[in-house]
Amino acid sequence: MIELKQVSIRCGAFSLNDISFRVESGQYAVLMGKTGLGKTTILESICGLRKVQAGSILVRGIDVTRWSPSDRQIGYVPQDLALFPTLSVREHLQFALRLRRASRSEMKQRTEELSQVLGLGELLDRNVQRLSGGEAQRVALGRALAARPAVLLLDEPLSALDQSTRIEMHDWLCKVKVATGVTTLHVTHNSAEAEALADLRLVLQDGRVLENTYSGSGED
């Protein structure tokens, strides 16, 4: 479960005030809104990468507003993916588990599970700099899911992909949704993407988040 209660965020001249919404456990929510309205800022605040000036952020019912990003148990896939250039695909999938001192067998098992769900089996030993756009997206998704996070945050995961890869990636997201059932908040400005994936639609408009008010006019 993700809940924002009257959250205010300020970064430079830009600010968001009294943002409130709630995504129930296991729900796949899509946050829509035009570019530049602050969708990414909201995700970064939930992750703990951006400080909030007021209000509270709850994950699994626990107030994590003042927690460091490392303690929040959130899987985050940023728009630019931010894959680690010096690591292989396998090392990406095992990164979070290694930090949690998981056993070798546990890491091996989880790597197999994820590579099966995301179709990464043949790419495991490849360096991430040699991946296509769709493959890189799946690695970022696998890296975020590896430690079984409480929630998954996706920042425009399909926006930088070509049409065929976008369809393919969309199918992978559906597969992940079914396989993991993780509470997900997916940011997009594409209404078709929202319609196909969402259990819950949130629209960021005039500095406020409106629930279940999908109008189909979110696209730029």
CB of 153 to another protein, least distance (A): 8
Among 96, 117, 123, 194, binds another protein (CB under 8 A): 96
> Considering beta carbons, is residue 89 or 147 the nearer one to another protein?
147
144 binds another protein (CB under 8 A): yes
Residue carrying structure tokens 């940023």: 78
Among 85, 103, 163, 206, binds another protein (CB under 8 A): 85
69 binds another protein (CB under 8 A): yes
142 binds another protein (CB under 8 A): no
Tell me the window of 22-30, 58-66, 72-80, 208-216 that interacts with another protein (CB under 8 A).
72-80
14 binds another protein (CB under 8 A): no
> Considering beta carbons, is residue 187 or 203 the nearer one to another protein?
187
Phi and psi at residue 205, in whole multiples of 5°?
-145, 130
104 binds another protein (CB under 8 A): no
129 binds another protein (CB under 8 A): no
166 binds another protein (CB under 8 A): no
Tell me the window of 41-49, 56-64, 194-202, 212-220 that interacts with another protein (CB under 8 A).
41-49
Asked if 32 and 218 count as a contact pair (C-beta separation under 8 A), the reply is: yes
157 binds another protein (CB under 8 A): no
SS (H, E, C) the chain: CEEEEEEEEEECCEEEEEEEEEECCCCEEEEECCCCCCHHHHHHHHHCCCCCCEEEEEECCEECCCCCHHHCCEEEECCCCCCCCCCEHHHHHHHHHHHCCCCHHHHHHHHHHHHHHHCCHHHCCCEHHHCCHHHHHHHHHHHHHCCCCCEEEEECCCCCCCHHHHHHHHHHHHHHHHHHCCEEEEECCCHHHHHHHCCEEEEEECCEEEECCCCCCCCC
Residues engaged in binding another protein (CB under 8 A): 47-49, 68-70, 72, 74-76, 78, 80, 82-86, 95-96, 99-100, 143-144, 146-147
